[in-house]
Amino acid sequence: MSLAGVAVSSGVAFGQAVHLIEQDCSVDFHLLPKSEIKPEKQRLTQAVKELISILETGQNGLEIDSENFQLIDADILLLQDEDLLNDMLIAIENQRFSASLAVDRIFDFQASEIEALNDPILASRAYDIRCLSNRLIASINGTLTWDLSHLRQASILFAKDITPAEFAMLPQQNISGIILETGGLTSHTAILARAAGIPALFNCSYQELSIRNGQTVILDAISGVLHAKPSQELQSALRLKQLNESERLQQLLTFKDKEAITQDGHKVALYANVGNLSEITRTTELGAQGVGLFRTEFMLMNATEYPNEQNQFLLYCDALHVLDGCPLTIRTLDIGADKDLPFEHHAHEENPALGIRGCRYTLAHPELLKPQLKAALRAANHGSIRLMFPMINQIEELDSILQEIEICKQELVSEEVGFGDFEIGLMIETPAAVMNINSLLPHLDFVSIGTNDLTQYTMAADRGNPQLTKAFPSLSPAILNLIKMTITAAKVFDVKVSLCGELASDKRAVAVLVGMGLEELSINLSSLLEIKSTICDGNYNNWQTLANSALKTSRVSELHELVCN
Ligand code: PEP
Ligand code: MG
């Protein structure tokens, strides 16, 4: 029994299936029949007990004075609060509320009271209370999510979807593969799986196979196939495939200390895309020339509060130290759309990808932007920093950013704190940014093309929707032409141009991208050496000719045929 999907992170994985049940946090609004009152009260007390026991297990192994231990403790104390439990039981008895409605109302009241105090520190506690309320309702509905703290080694996770924030909380060392029903090739969860080197298959309707928890399955994310109940013969063949793949990766390590130079002597600078300090360490181990994209929001997906200026400064200094003279490109927080931070309450939006995202969000929240700018300015005294801004479409937004930088510099002067100079750049992620490029470039040192969003916004195709992945790939005539327009304009203004979308990590696209004149690529860590080896095997002269032909194609299929042959 096998099933195909979209392989978003390559590799072969053997393991036991673990289903991540989707939490059902829906509230039952029905008026409770009198006969149901007693059992409903029991459901509530039982659910409270179950959640307390799960939380207590979660504390095992944590230091008592650690922040996580204390946070879990606060939740346990709230659940043990007899007055609170009584209020909920009374609501069931007197108002004939369902248990879920009683929880929803009483916890909401608690959270609102805290919010009314208008204290930013307590605001995060109000958020925690709402999360706890959801977990308690899920427990009442019998769908409390799998407790991942007990995940056995070599587990293969099955879920409808995993958000980037949920991914950040996974015990990665015990996960050998991930299968999702949804998810696109350039979704942020796919990017995270690739960076972590975890084989992953998305857009896979695995329900058809009725796989049980604990069942042995094999994920072949090289060919994009999930195997349930594999025969002995198939198992041996896939073991061999896994072995060949690890030998291939081993071979690629020989490119670690080599420069990316084509056979006819054309040099390309390869940088890495990272999301935390340990990935920055791997950057140097893999021989990248620096960090071309530090997605700073990724490292906060698991955080309970926003790090202050000093903590961000120390982190950037650590990163510069690891990079030992190579540049660090810090992208300011790109939150919104599918990336929410646990400590930041983001108002509901009908179309979040078209809403308050990236710089739109940080410009509206100087309390988030300014500490990051000041930390980067201070770190620039200790190494080479490039600061990059996401989701800027027009000069007005860039004006506001430049103004904020000036304000931060003035504040540092009056605080008598030293700072250095950094390069300023923008992500090119929307067709508007390309059309407005001539007005933006005079103010910039560099631009970096973000093809994941550029494709999403040009094609009006949600990057997380697997049904659109095949028809609207980044490797398409429209996107190549937008890239070419950006390169041409940047050369006129003598501004450096890089490409940091996942297209740079696609070995089929390298010839065309380099042939079009890109001298810098920033790549997902798992693809870095493969791209380097492709460049070292290539011929720049031929690639220029290929790129000219590619830019003249009008169909995706025609383009793919051209670049794949
Ligand atoms: C992009 O949009 O191409 C990009 C690199 O940014 P992100 O994937 O983080 O949105
Ligand atoms: Mg983007």
Tens of pLDDT along 311-333?
Answer: 999 999 999 999 999 999 999 99
Distance 70 CA to ligand 1 centre (A): 35
- Answer yes or no: do 14 and 60 share one domain: no
Q: What is the mean pLDDT of the chain?
A: 92
CATH code of the domain containing 557: 3.20.20.60
Most confident of 168-182, 201-215, 414-428: 414-428
Q: Which helix (H) or strand (E) holds 247?
A: helix 232-252
Strands (E) located in 417-501: 423-428, 446-449, 496-499
Q: Is 450 in the pocket of ligand 1 (CB under 6 A)?
A: yes
What is the reported pLDDT for 484? 98
Segment 172-192 mean pLDDT: 90
Segment 31-40 mean pLDDT: 94
Closest atom of ligand 1 to 451 CA is 3
Distance 452 CA to ligand 1 centre (A): 5
Tell me the pTM: 0.81
Q: Could you list the active site residues?
A: 188, 500
- Answer yes or no: do 135 and 151 share one domain: no
DSSP 3-state of 239: helix
Encode 268-291: b = buried (16+ Cβ within 10 Å), e = exposed. Answer: bbbbbbbbbeebbebbbebbbbbb
pLDDT over threshold 60, residue 338: yes
In testing the pocket of ligand 1, which one of 296, 354, 388, 429 has its CB within 8 Å of the most ligand atoms?
A: 429
Distance 227 CA to ligand 1 centre (A): 32
What is the reported pLDDT for 50? 86
Tell me whether residue 122 is in a domain: yes
Phi, psi (rounded to 5 degrees) for 287:
75, 30
Residue pair 446/497 in contact (Cβ under 8 Å)? The answer is: yes
Total domain count for the chain? 3
Report residue 282's pLDDT band, with 50, 70 and 90 as the boundaries.
Answer: very high
Q: Is 338 in the pocket of ligand 1 (CB under 6 A)?
A: no
Report residue 392's pLDDT band, with 50, 70 and 90 as the boundaries.
Answer: very high
Q: Is 450 exposed, middle or buried (0-12, 13-18, 19+ CB in 10 A)?
A: buried
Q: Angle at CA 370, nearest 5°, toward 364 and 376? A: 135
Tell me whether residue 350 is in a domain: yes
- Answer yes or no: do 171 and 45 share one domain: no
Segment 372-382 mean pLDDT: 98
- Answer yes or no: do 247 and 270 share one domain: no
What is the reported pLDDT for 54? 77
Q: Is 58 in the pocket of ligand 1 (CB under 6 A)?
A: no
Q: Is 500 in the pocket of ligand 1 (CB under 6 A)?
A: yes
What is the reported pLDDT for 273? 97
pLDDT over threshold 70, residue 388: yes
- Answer yes or no: do 72 and 189 share one domain: no
Residues forming the annotated binding site? 295, 331, 429, 452-453, 463
DSSP code string of 326-384:
S-EEEEP---BTTB--TTS-PPP-SSGGGSS-THHHHHH-HHHHHHHHHHHHHHTTSS-
Domain boundary pick from 109, 140, 171: 140
What is the reported pLDDT for 58? 66
Which residue's CA lies nearest to atom 3 of ligand 1? Answer: 450
Strand partners, 17: 156
What is the reported pLDDT for 117? 84
Tell me whether residue 260 is in a domain: no
pLDDT over threshold 90, residue 344: no
Which residue's CA lies nearest to atom 6 of ligand 1? Answer: 450
Q: Is 88 in the pocket of ligand 1 (CB under 6 A)?
A: no
- Answer yes or no: do 241 and 385 share one domain: no
- Answer yes or no: do 387 and 462 share one domain: yes
- Answer yes or no: do 274 and 186 share one domain: no
pLDDT over threshold 60, residue 146: no
What is the reported pLDDT for 70? 79
Most confident of 22-26, 351-355, 382-386: 382-386
pLDDT over threshold 80, residue 19: yes
DSSP 3-state of 405: helix
**Count of CB atoms situated within 10 Å of the CB of 180:** 26
Report residue 147's pLDDT band, with 50, 70 and 90 as the boundaries.
Answer: low
Tell me whether residue 257 is in a domain: no
Report residue 303's pLDDT band, with 50, 70 and 90 as the boundaries.
Answer: confident
Residue pair 328/385 in contact (Cβ under 8 Å)? The answer is: yes
Tell me whether residue 323 is in a domain: yes
Distance 77 CA to ligand 2 centre (A): 41
Which residue's CA lies nearest to atom 8 of ligand 1? Answer: 452
Residues forming the annotated binding site for phosphoenolpyruvate? 295, 331, 452-453, 463
Distance 73 CA to ligand 1 centre (A): 37
Report residue 149's pLDDT band, with 50, 70 and 90 as the boundaries.
Answer: low
Residues 450 and 390: their CA atoms lie apart, in Å, by 9
Identify the domain containing residue 180 by its residue range.
2-21+147-251
Segment 446-470 mean pLDDT: 95
Residue pair 176/14 in contact (Cβ under 8 Å)? The answer is: yes
Tell me whether residue 259 is in a domain: no
Distance 507 CA to ligand 1 centre (A): 18
Residues forming the annotated binding site for Mg(2+)? 429, 453
Going by C-alpha positions, the residue among 266, 312, 260 that lies closest to residue 288 is: 260
From the CA of 448, the nearest ligand is 1
What is the reported pLDDT for 62? 66
In testing the pocket of ligand 1, which one of 271, 426, 500 has its CB within 8 Å of the most ligand atoms?
A: 500
- Answer yes or no: do 218 and 288 share one domain: no
Q: Is 220 in the pocket of ligand 1 (CB under 6 A)?
A: no
Residue pair 287/325 in contact (Cβ under 8 Å)? The answer is: no
In testing the pocket of ligand 1, which one of 452, 454, 475, 520 has its CB within 8 Å of the most ligand atoms?
A: 452
What is the reported pLDDT for 67? 67
DSSP 3-state of 470: coil
**Antiparallel, parallel or unpaired: β 200-202 and 6-9:** antiparallel
Tell me whether residue 27 is in a domain: no
Domain boundary pick from 140, 164, 191: 140
pLDDT over threshold 70, residue 192: yes
Tell me whether residue 29 is in a domain: no
Report residue 150's pLDDT band, with 50, 70 and 90 as the boundaries.
Answer: low
What is the reported pLDDT for 145? 63
Q: How far is CA 265 from CA 261, 268, 271, 556, in A?
A: 6, 10, 19, 31
Closest atom of ligand 1 to 448 CA is 5
Q: Which residue has the higher pLDDT, 176 or 187?
A: 176
Q: Which residue has the higher pLDDT, 477 or 19?
A: 477
**Count of CB atoms situated within 10 Å of the CB of 297:** 23
CATH code of the domain containing 110: 1.10.274.10
- Answer yes or no: do 289 and 233 share one domain: no
CATH code of the domain containing 170: 3.50.30.10
- Answer yes or no: do 15 and 115 share one domain: no
- Answer yes or no: do 291 and 413 share one domain: yes
Q: Is 295 in the pocket of ligand 1 (CB under 6 A)?
A: yes
Encode 514-530: b = buried (16+ Cβ within 10 Å), e = exposed. Answer: bbbebebbbbbbbbbbb
Segment 484-496 mean pLDDT: 98
Domain boundary pick from 140, 168, 185: 140
Which residue's CA lies nearest to atom 4 of ligand 1? Answer: 450
